[in-house]
Each structure stands twice: as C-alpha cells, then as structure tokens.
A and B are shown apart, each in its own frame.
Chain A
C-alpha cells in the first residue's frame, strides 16, 4: 500500500474513532462510592482486608486503609487504578494533592480535595 494512503488511513482512522467515542459520552471518569471503592480495592489487591474507606467529595478518589497499610484508589478513565502508599512524595496543590509514586508506569495521581478534606486526608496518609 502506498505510504501516503496508509498515513491518511491511520491518522484519519484514529481521529475519527476518537471523535466518535468522545462525542458519544465515553470520556466520563469512573465515579466512586464507599461500596465500589471497597470492591475496586479488593479487585486490585485480592489478599487485602479493608479496614475503612474515605471517598473524596468529587468521588474520583478514595483513601483505603487496609491491614497491609494505607492505599490510594483513583479513577482512571472509566476504570480505577490503585497503589499502596509506601514510596511516594506528596505535593500540595491549591485544589488538592499531587502524589508522585516513583514508578514509570504509575507516575502520579492528582487528587482533588476541598479545604475541609485536605488536612483530614493528610492525617490519614501520614499518621504522626
């Protein structure tokens, strides 16, 4: 196949499919509740026993305390990802936290928290 035609097909195909999927409402992020956050954590870490779950007010992130230590669950497109809070840096933002995981495949999570939530989350993540 001539390279020009292949290029047009590939670029046009990607652009067209992207537009179609987005315009039909499939860019929504996963919304968490206490129950779904708990279920999702156990999906990611089946061996864990969850102690309690704190869901962010925007419902796109949850702090999960387990018998193996605390962890963060957050929306990843229509799905979720989860990470234990073992090796990370926490950066303050005006709208929440940016958490850097030192992991090339999971570089960071941006968690939107209001003024009331921020100190509470910090206490849960970094107990004195």
Chain B
C-alpha cells in the first residue's frame, strides 16, 4: 500500500473565499434589500462555530486519520489516484455524506453533533460555517471505512470530502432563487437546501444531499421548496443562546440529563441516546412523524402534497393516535 500520497487541505485554502463570499452576499442583501438577513450576534456565533470546527479538526482529526490509515494498511486493494478514480471517489463520498447526514437527523447521538448547524434562525453564508465541534464523538468515521477498504486512499477520500463541504457552502443563501431546471434536477441547490433547514412540519427530515440531490430522490427523502410554504429556519424548539459553548454542547447535555434520570429501563436510556430526536419514554415530546401527523390534523388540505405524501394510515400508530 502506498502511504505517501498527499492532497491539499482544500477547506483551509477555501477560507479566503468564504470571507469574500460572505462580504459579497452581505453587500448584495444591503444593496438589493432582499435575499436574506444578517444579525450581528447570530453571525458571530456562526463564525466562531466555524473556527472551532477547524480547531477541533486540528485537535481530534488524528483519531479519524489514524483509523483510516489502519484500514489502508489492512486492505489489499489500491485503486490509485487517476482522474476517473478521483471522480468515482467524489461520487461515492457524496453517497456516504448522504447517509451520515441522514443518520445525523435520525439518530439522536449523531444529531447531538449536527444540531448546532441547524440552530440559527437565519439562513445565510455564515450559517454554512456553523459547524460541529464534536463530530469525532459520533464515531461516524466508520461510514467512510468501506471506501478505504475498497482501495480509495484516505488522503484522496478526505480531499474529495473537503470539496464536498466547499460545494455545500454556497447553497446556504436566500440570495439565489431557483437554478435552471436541469441543475435543480441533479444537483443540491440553495432552494433544496433551504427546505432542508426548515422547521416547518413539511420540511422535517428531507433533502440530506451534499452535492447530488439524486440521492434524496433515490431514497425517498426529497421535498422541493414550496412557494406557498415559506421556509422557517431553525429548530423545532429553538435554543435561546448565542454562547458557542452552549450551542456546541446543548444536545449532549440533553442526552445526559434524559438518559440518567431515575426510574428508566435500560431500553429507555438507550432510546434517549440513539432513537430519533423527539423520543421520550412518557410521550411528552414529538418526533418528526408526530409533528407531521399533528400538522395534518390541523391542515388536512396538505395531505398528499410534498412532505406530506404519507397518508395518516401509513404513519406510525403512536403518531397518528397522538394527532
């Protein structure tokens, strides 16, 4: 196996572009008077979260990289670093991203890391930088294992992963409406990703794509942005803090408090850690399915529209009953 392959750390090199693009978006909004909103403390929190994400990469990145290099040493396969292999790696890495992102919304342990990215009520280019500090603790690096065992060099996998993240930066904007139809059909776009950041019942748990929206269409999680249902950004229960430490760790603290409360069975404690967000042992909280069911009870006219394709009979029993 060839260990000595290097690729540039593209995310670090993109930092000047991030700053320039934020300034450009800000000026666009200021001049045009539309296309998004900026608020000082929200933007500062997002930017500090971005800086902390880079710092956590310096501090904890060696754990994932050590794991990848160990996999690379045990795999007998080496696909090399030709251009077609890099392109193939990029596409498969994007598929990996889709699933990790989906796990990030459906498994509370992973959501605890990802939630901070959704914690702003704004949606602008600074929101893109509101990134996790605790990804290493989710152990989601194991989802990259198949790529490396198939013979894609770890440095190449991390390189295309970096390009994937840079692509996702520019789609965090309200300044761009809909792109040409062919582009919207294949690629993740500002419109698709706005829907993903919505706390409206319609948009919960949709559009997990990184670069190619086709994964959502393949796996049944695609919901197009609706003109008659403007995206309301943020969390179902918005947090009330701009403190980056609280933003980074609030869901981990929530898991700890929930899972260690007295009188629970082991299964209930594990469910507080790993069940979808919204689980509660006493039914006092709502999962996304229950939120959608309750919305349909209030707005039956939405049944069958994007995001509400499921009939109430197809919803989980508890969700339908609660609605």
Chain A residues proximal to chain B, CB less than 8 Å: 1, 6, 9-10, 13-14, 16-18, 20-22, 24, 26-27, 43-44, 46-47, 74, 76-79, 81-83, 104-107, 109
- Chain B nearest CB from A50 CB (Å) reads 14
Q: Establish whether residues A1 and B43, one from each chain, have CB atoms under 8 Å apart when the complex forms.
A: no
User: In the complex, which of the residues B9, B30, B39, B51 contacts A77, with contact meaning CB atoms closer than 8 Å?
Assistant: B39
Q: Establish whether residues A106 and B43, one from each chain, have CB atoms under 8 Å apart when the complex forms.
A: no
Q: Establish whether residues A10 and B51, one from each chain, have CB atoms under 8 Å apart when the complex forms.
A: yes
Residue picked from A14, A27, A74, most chain B C-beta under 10 Å:
A14
Give the 5 A-B CB pairs with smallest separation, nearest first: A105-B250, A105-B239, A81-B240, A106-B240, A104-B253
Q: Establish whether residues A105 and B240, one from each chain, have CB atoms under 8 Å apart when the complex forms.
A: yes
> Which residue of chain A has the shortest Cβ distance to B47 in the bound complex?
A14
Quick one: given A43-B232, A47-B294, A104-B253, are A81 and B239 in contact (CB under 8 Å)?
yes
Q: Is B132 an interface residue (CB 8 A)?
A: no
A26 to B40 CA separation, bound complex (whole angstroms): 6
Q: Establish whether residues A1 and B250, one from each chain, have CB atoms under 8 Å apart when the complex forms.
A: no
User: In the complex, which of the residues A6, A17, A44, A107 contacts B23, with contact meaning CB atoms closer than 8 Å?
Assistant: A17
- What residues of chain B lie closer than 8 Å to A47, measured between beta carbons? 294, 298
Quick one: given A17-B23, A79-B121, are A46 and B295 in contact (CB under 8 Å)?
yes
- What residues of chain A lie closer than 8 Å to B122, measured between beta carbons? 78-79
User: In the complex, which of the residues B26, B54, B234 contacts A20, with contact meaning CB atoms closer than 8 Å?
Assistant: B26
Q: Given A105-B247, A109-B240, 13 more contacts at CB 8 Å?
A: A10-B15, A14-B48, A17-B22, A17-B126, A24-B30, A26-B38, A47-B294, A81-B239, A104-B257, A105-B241, A105-B251, A107-B241, A107-B246
- Chain A nearest CB from B164 CB (Å) reads 19
Q: Establish whether residues B19 and A17, one from each chain, have CB atoms under 8 Å apart when the complex forms.
A: yes
Q: Is B238 an interface residue (CB 8 A)?
A: yes
Q: Establish whether residues A78 and B39, one from each chain, have CB atoms under 8 Å apart when the complex forms.
A: yes
Interface string of B9-30 (1 = CB under 8 A from A): 1001101101100110010001
- What residues of chain B lie closer than 8 Å to A43, measured between beta carbons? 232
Q: Is B37 an interface residue (CB 8 A)?
A: yes
Q: Establish whether residues B298 and A6, one from each chain, have CB atoms under 8 Å apart when the complex forms.
A: no
A77 to B39 CA separation, bound complex (whole angstroms): 7
User: In the complex, which of the residues A13, A79, A105 contacts B47, with contact meaning CB atoms closer than 8 Å?
Assistant: A13
Q: Establish whether residues A14 and B44, one from each chain, have CB atoms under 8 Å apart when the complex forms.
A: yes
A107 to B242 CA separation, bound complex (whole angstroms): 11
- 19 A-B residue pairs with Cβ-Cβ distance under 8 Å, sorted by A, are A1-B9, A1-B12, A6-B12, A9-B15, A10-B51, A13-B15, A13-B18, A13-B19, A18-B47, A21-B43, A46-B294, A79-B39, A79-B122, A79-B234, A79-B238, A81-B238, A104-B249, A105-B241, A105-B254
- What residues of chain A lie closer than 8 Å to B48, measured between beta carbons? 14
- Chain B nearest CB from A32 CB (Å) reads 15
B248-281 residues with Cβ-Cβ distance < 8 A to A are 249-251, 253-254, 257
> Which residue of chain B has the shortest Cβ distance to A18 in the bound complex?
B44
- Chain B nearest CB from A74 CB (Å) reads 8
- What residues of chain B lie closer than 8 Å to A105, measured between beta carbons? 239-241, 246-247, 250-251, 253-254
- Chain A nearest CB from B228 CB (Å) reads 16
Q: Is B41 an interface residue (CB 8 A)?
A: yes
- What residues of chain A lie closer than 8 Å to B9, measured between beta carbons? 1
Q: Is B184 an interface residue (CB 8 A)?
A: no
> Which residue of chain B has the shortest Cβ distance to A12 in the bound complex?
B19
Q: Establish whether residues B26 and A21, one from each chain, have CB atoms under 8 Å apart when the complex forms.
A: yes
- Chain A nearest CB from B185 CB (Å) reads 32
User: In the complex, which of the residues B12, B39, B54 contacts A21, with contact meaning CB atoms closer than 8 Å?
Assistant: B39
- Chain B nearest CB from A25 CB (Å) reads 9
- What residues of chain A lie closer than 8 Å to B26, measured between beta carbons? 17, 20-21
User: In the complex, which of the residues A16, A27, A81 contacts B41, with contact meaning CB atoms closer than 8 Å?
Assistant: A27
- Chain A nearest CB from B37 CB (Å) reads 7
